[in-house]
Amino acid sequence: MKAHDVIVKPILTEKSYSGIQNKVYTFRVAPGANKVQIRKAVEEIFNVQVEKVNTVKVKGKEKSQNTRQGRTVGKTSDYTKAIVTLKADSKPIAFFESLS
């Protein structure tokens, strides 16, 4: 698996913004990726040193919508979230620094 296939996109929420000052970043990752692959991908793409990686499997939410034909029910997709902590002597990720 290539590095750009492992990291799908950054997750930008209020909680993830609060971690940027402590060099804690949140990414949506490929469902089959493990912690070692995530660590290598972040180090390769952003040229930083990773201290630890935590992963969470997020279940999709059920959504409903009322239409003229009746009520339709669907579900958002499940995904894997990675919370990456960088080493203290590592440089911060420039993409996230421009947001805070």
In a domain, 24, yes or no: yes
Domain count for the chain: 1
CA of 15: how far to CAs of 64, 74, 80, in Å?
27, 27, 17
In a domain, 65, yes or no: yes
Q: Per-residue pLDDT for the chain (100 aa), expressed as one digit of tens each?
A: 899 999 999 999 999 999 999 999 999 999 999 999 999 999 999 999 999 999 999 999 999 988 888 888 999 999 999 999 999 999 998 888 777 5
**pTM, full prediction:** 0.86
Residue type, 52: K
In a domain, 98, yes or no: no
Domain of 63?
Answer: 3-88
Q: How far apart are CA 19 and CA 24, in angstroms?
A: 5
In a domain, 95, yes or no: no
> Phi-psi category of 98—alpha, beta or left, where left has phi over 0 and alpha has psi -120 to 50?
alpha
Rg (CA), the chain: 16
Give the domain CATH number at 70. Answer: 3.30.70.330
In a domain, 99, yes or no: no
Q: Residue for token digits 């203290």?
A: 88
